[in-house]
Structure 1
């Protein structure tokens, strides 16, 4: 299946899963973006007879509330390719360094995940006034965190 056919099939599948979302209504929603596509163009795209530009793909994904990857990948596709498309890990046998790949493709993630996890726990504990929290590590060990007021040490 060509990329155009795959994008078209995914576009049709996703649009049809939205009750009441006709080609005309989708075209109206796209008209509010900087990448309008009329109903005839959408119909041809769904049939793989019209290429969708990268900018149009992003606009379609925004309007349909899906990731652009969802329009590019078969829903039952290889999980390794999905992880690659999401920037989670390189393709198997690519020889790429997994950590370097992840840093390059997920620049919004912190460089120090352990520090970020600690900061996230602190935000939860502080926001919800939690006095005690148990965490289970990968090795099965349980860690208990207890909030102590400075005056009670």
Structure 2
């Protein structure tokens, strides 16, 4: 095998080691996955990896608590970039667009009940105010991590109140 063959083999091995998993702190990892689809008329910035969050619908009960309403139909939009139609409960999966990440808006219905919920993207900022790896690297590089929205992106779960 020549140099080119070994080079191709090496690249394939590196690609197999890549992280293709879904990141995100939202719950619902055991729920059915629904992927957000990009809008054809919009140029979507490149994503870093994929993130996920749970989408659930609830109604108030007589004691002031909440009861989940499975089977609710929701349309979730991510700015001008993405949309998804789903039935709750579901785990919504979308690209992590880093600083370009849009807020997510869910409009849900179940019979005569309807509701809307909005979540903003959240960016990781460790307690000490910088990534833990920076301590080992010395001063510099990293203070902007959360400020510039380059840290790990997560979306809180979408909990839609139906009334």
Shorter-chain TM range is 0.3 to 0.5
Normalising by the residue count of structure 1, what TM-score does the alignment of the two structures yield?
A: 0.32
Normalising by the residue count of structure 2, what TM-score does the alignment of the two structures yield?
A: 0.31
Greater fraction helix: 1
Bigger Rg over Cα = 1
